[in-house]
Amino acid sequence: MNSARLALLALVLAAPAWAAKVDDAALRSIQVTSARSSSWDEFNMPAVRLWLPRTVESAYAKGEFAEPKLVDAAGHAVAYEVEQGIYDPDRWETEIRLDSQGEAARVVGSIHLRYPARVRPATASDRDDDLTEPAFGVDLPKVVVEAWKEVDIAYDLPLVAKLPDSMKGETEPVPPTVTATPGGKVVVTVKK
């Protein structure tokens, strides 16, 4: 059983009056990194990964990637199409992949995140309109979000080197800690 499911099990077994909370410090620790897709179909496609706090609440977050700008080494725009990834509860991340029609060097963009800062288990008396579902494909129950935090993230990242062919189709391991992309800049703003 993965850690997200174990955390939710603890949440469900606790008294309904108890609620899980995520503080601003955890939200400021959100990372955005440059990556490459390792899947068969999109192998080595540039990607931007949004790494959320390693808590069960992340499965209920609502993130919106604004249309990024992809440029080559000279700073000229590179045409591309965006492919939206899905949230991975075992990695606490989601991504967009950029199917570019040229040799891109950097990606610049922003993300608006609506994060559930205070969550409690649903009860039989809760109205359906008050329930929040987890991300697509995540096997967790609906919850009641008692408080949301708005988070704006701006990023300017170099594209990372291509993966070796031996990585094609392989899932990259979850890093113990997510580190910033060298040469990149990420600004996380938690709104009050």
Record the pTM.
Answer: 0.87
In the chain, where the domains are located: 3-190
Q: How confident is the model at residue 7 (pLDDT cuts 50, 70, 90)?
A: low
pLDDT digit string, tens, across residues 56-84: 999 999 999 999 999 999 999 999 999 99
pLDDT digit string, tens, across residues 8-19: 445 444 434 446
Question: Under DSSP, is residue 21 helix (H, G, I), strand (E, B) or coil?
Answer: strand
User: 42 exposed, middle or buried (CB, 10 Å; 0-12, 13-18, 19+)?
Assistant: middle
Q: How confident is the model at residue 115 (pLDDT cuts 50, 70, 90)?
A: very high
Question: Under DSSP, is residue 97 helix (H, G, I), strand (E, B) or coil?
Answer: strand
Instruction: Measure the CA–CA gap between 184 and 70, rounded to whole angstroms.
Output: 14
User: 118 exposed, middle or buried (CB, 10 Å; 0-12, 13-18, 19+)?
Assistant: middle
